[in-house]
Structure 1
Amino acid sequence: MHLKGWKHQLPGTNECPVCQEELCPSVPPSCPAGKVREHCGCCWECAVREGQPCDLHPERHFYGQCGDGLECVVQEEENISYGKTPEPLCVCSSRQAVCGTDRKTYRNSCQLQEAANRGRKRNLAIAHMGPCKKAPVIVSPPQDIITLEGHDIIFGCEVSSYPVAFLKWRKEGDSGFLPGDDSHIAIQARGGPQRYTITGWLQIQEIQKQDEGLYTCYSRNEFGQASASARLWVVPPDSPLAVYVQTHDVGIFDAEDDEEDVLEEGSTDFEPKQK
């Protein structure tokens, strides 16, 4: 691996040579984590980015130094794969999301600074701490389903927004939101799988022909609203088409890292089937 720094120590000593900046290697025009002086304090070099290995101790000069706003720390044991040796990585000192002047939410201030340093957004700055406030956007809409009478199905709908939006379901032709007073329909909403997203499910059990129709996921917060629809077709078991129908649950994600459940008022708490 290429060692950083100009000349490094003099051979056989811990001393740095006399600085001659005219002999320093050129530095790329855009360093994602900014520039730092190499350990002898003479030449500039690209700083180590967030998530990359770094030199934890001052006497080591192998990986390099972290950029501004980053600190070199050793990973916690639970975050290390089995059989691997812990190594120091550059970690952002701030863990809070920020909103950029480009109206984009960044995981932290270091990610925003990387975007600015890459050269495409030189004037990019922090507009305010916390995520950008925005209207709901449906990132995973419900999908059409064909199923047999008597089967159970689940529609899923994932929405991104801040503040987090509410999520409701409605069937075309009905005046109110589901589930209403229908005992074979249940709805659930849960934060996740990503930050600032909420996912809702509509479950219909023991489907009958009258359940066929268009179902819409509605989402709203103070900045706007969004919706997406999917159609349910119901095939009688004695239909010639029944042998070709295979019901699939859709819109379901792995709930292992989900946020706390948020149930809609009047809904039935059920556990969606996971793929």
Structure 2
Amino acid sequence: MRKFVFFSLLLVVYHCSIDARKPNPPPNPIFNDCSQCKPELCPQLTEVCKSGQVKDQCDCCTVCGKNEGEPCDVDIVNDDRQTHQKPFYTPHHGRCGNSLQCTLQKDEDSANNVVTDYAVCICQFKNAVCGEDGKTYRNKCHFDETMAGRSERFRIARDEPCDEAPKIMTSSQSAREKSGSDTILSCEVSGYPTPKIEWKFTTEDRQKTITLPSDHTSKSVQVRGGPDHYQVTSWLQITNLQTTDSGVYTCVAKNKLGKITSEIYLTVTGGREL
């Protein structure tokens, strides 16, 4: 009987020593600073939450959700702890608001060969929308943030930009060039539907106007979308300039809502005519 008790005690001691050597489970990176939730102690919200209300990192108090583009905390409660052992994941920013998702981004510093992880709130709706106020918003989240707290609130009229007449964003300045040189004129336009661009040339004496590039081998036109949404940019390249190229170059942008023009005066001087 004494032998049985002795071996039983040895077995208990053995198991206790094994358990003592086991590492403690890693603390929950999201809730390790949270105590028991007492809703009655939560501060009362007095500000307007542009992106709606969410629970704090302890799932206790109601707070304002983070807005589009603001830093946020990635919810890694169910992720592999081994891959998230970085101070970055310590919650201190907050959760994203309605229709927003906290998304990991990378900031690459090629000069110092450093890559930094960070997270921001990204809208889950990518398309621009048209409000009943006739204004275009970059997405639904932008619209909701703008409308929050307003006494007069509008609804989304349609899930696309509002119709907008063409607008010249930038264009080349008038210039003087030497004969035999090359030049490039540019014109950047916005509008919806996206405007179409064409170039016209009026001679210095204003007696003749033609649409370019026509049959001029020294002149070429290129068009591409951008640099932003619902914008278009066009370039007019002129090689081996001659004095006969002096005149007015007009960028013409138009869509169903109208037309707009930008005139660029080009003077070609000196050099030897070829």
The TM-score normalised by the length of structure 2 is: 0.72
Question: Which digits, 9 at most, give the CA deviation of each residue in 1:8-27, with x for residues without a partner?
Answer: x8xx985434321xx54354
Change (3 A) 1:13 1:210: closer
CA shift for structure 1 position 85 = 3.3
CA shift for structure 1 position 146 = 0.7
Corresponding residue for residue 170 of structure 1:
200
Q: Calculate the aligned-residue CA RMSD, in Å.
A: 2.6
Which amino acid counterpart does residue 109 of structure 1 have in structure 2?
K
2:108 counterpart of 1:81: yes
Q: 8 Å contact 2:107–2:118 — kept in the other structure? A: no
Which amino acid counterpart does residue 50 of structure 1 have in structure 2?
E
Aligned length, in residue pairs? 223
Q: Which has the higher Rg, Structure 1 or Structure 2?
A: 2
Give the secondary-structure state (helix, strand or coil) at the position aligned to 2:127.
coil
Corresponding residue for residue 16 of structure 1:
36
Corresponding residue for residue 63 of structure 2:
45
CA shift for structure 1 position 138 = 0.8
Corresponding residue for residue 109 of structure 1:
140
Instruction: Structure 2 unaligned segments of length 5 or more: list them.
Output: 1-30, 78-89
CA shift for structure 1 position 131 = 1.8
Which amino acid counterpart does residue 133 of structure 1 have in structure 2?
D
Report which of the two has the higher share of helix.
2
Change (3 A) 1:32 1:151: same
2:128 counterpart of 1:94: no
Q: 8 Å contact 1:16–1:40 — kept in the other structure? A: no
Q: 8 Å contact 1:216–1:230 — kept in the other structure? A: yes
Corresponding residue for residue 53 of structure 2:
35
- Report the Cα distance in structure 2 between the residues aligned to 1:148 and 1:215, rounded to whole angstroms: 17
Q: 8 Å contact 2:37–2:60 — kept in the other structure? A: no
2:94 counterpart of 1:64: yes
**Higher mean C-alpha deviation, range 164-173 or range 84-93:** 84-93
Which amino acid counterpart does residue 16 of structure 1 have in structure 2?
Q
Corresponding residue for residue 243 of structure 1:
none
Give the secondary-structure state (helix, strand or coil) at the position aligned to 2:237.
strand
Q: 8 Å contact 1:99–1:128 — kept in the other structure? A: yes
Which amino acid counterpart does residue 108 of structure 2 have in structure 1?
S
Corresponding residue for residue 218 of structure 2:
184
CA shift for structure 1 position 86 = 1.9
CA shift for structure 1 position 46 = 1.9
Report which of the two has the higher share of strand.
2
Corresponding residue for residue 129 of structure 1:
159
CA shift for structure 1 position 58 = 6.8
CA shift for structure 1 position 151 = 0.9
CA shift for structure 1 position 67 = 0.4
CA shift for structure 1 position 49 = 1.4
Corresponding residue for residue 256 of structure 1:
none
